[in-house]
Chain A
Amino acid sequence: QQPVQSPQAVILREGEDAVINCSSSKALYSVHWYRQKHGEAPVFLMILLKGGEQKGHEKISASFNEKKQQSSLYLTASQLSYSGTYFCGTRSRNSNSGYALNFGKGTSLLVTP
């Protein structure tokens, strides 16, 4: 049930772009993206509810391919503040667990000057 994220880690120079992928073996109802900085709570970035939906948040956007059960998070022109661990959380279509999420293991992103 746990979604698979890739890559596990990425190091960028400030201004570079990155893509983080999240895939599931189960049909998905929604995909949530969170960012967690060291020692802090996860912070909500965005949710994607419909197949093919794309959303944006400043220079961070995401897409959701319902047929492939995949989502991708796009970080463009990265800033130092983007450093942290990014988690995707998924809800499956046949889930009976309310709105609880299954989280991936995370992708560690480090942006250097």
Chain B
Amino acid sequence: EAGVAQSPRYKIIEKRQSVAFWCNPISGHATLYWYQQILGQGPKLLIQFQNNGVVDDSQLPKDRFSAERLKGVDSTLKIQPAKLEDSAVYLCASNHIIRTGRGEQFFGPGTRLTVL
């Protein structure tokens, strides 16, 4: 079974530029998450999708971050304009939600963003 795919793996931009990340979850996984992991910290949820609907985006800085999941499969996360503090690894995760199930999340390799 193929895992969660993300691209690009690395991105270096200057502040105030825009950047987009792509994620393709495991086939059949209805729930998709975007996490931000700053160096030395645990992953922090940015947004959660259930199919193509947003379940939770309470921690997404909506003035600069946006995300979409058209057709309920792959997803893109965009930052516009980027700030220095956005430097982090952006992790995508997915799982197949069953209300009484395991709930384990499968993570992609992440995109390491450096904002100069």
Contacts and interface: CB of A to CB of B under 8 A. Distances in A.
B45 A101 contact: yes
Contact of B91 (A32, A42, A99): A42
Contacts of A26: none
15 contacts: A32-B105, A40-B109, A41-B91, A42-B91, A42-B107, A43-B107, A44-B106, A87-B43, A91-B103, A97-B48, A97-B55, A97-B56, A98-B48, A101-B43, A101-B45
Interface residues of B, number: 27
The 7 A-B residue pairs whose C-beta atoms are closest, nearest first, are A103-B42, A41-B107, A97-B56, A98-B55, A44-B104, A100-B45, A99-B103
Looking at B43, B56, B107, the one whose CB has the most chain A CB atoms below 10 A away is B43
Contacts of A103: 35, 42-44
A42 B4 CA distance: 12
Nearest to A32: B104
Interface of A: 2, 30, 32, 34, 40-44, 47, 87, 89, 91, 96-106
B5 to A, nearest CB: 11
A95 to B, nearest CB: 9
Contacts of B33: 100
Nearest to A43: B107
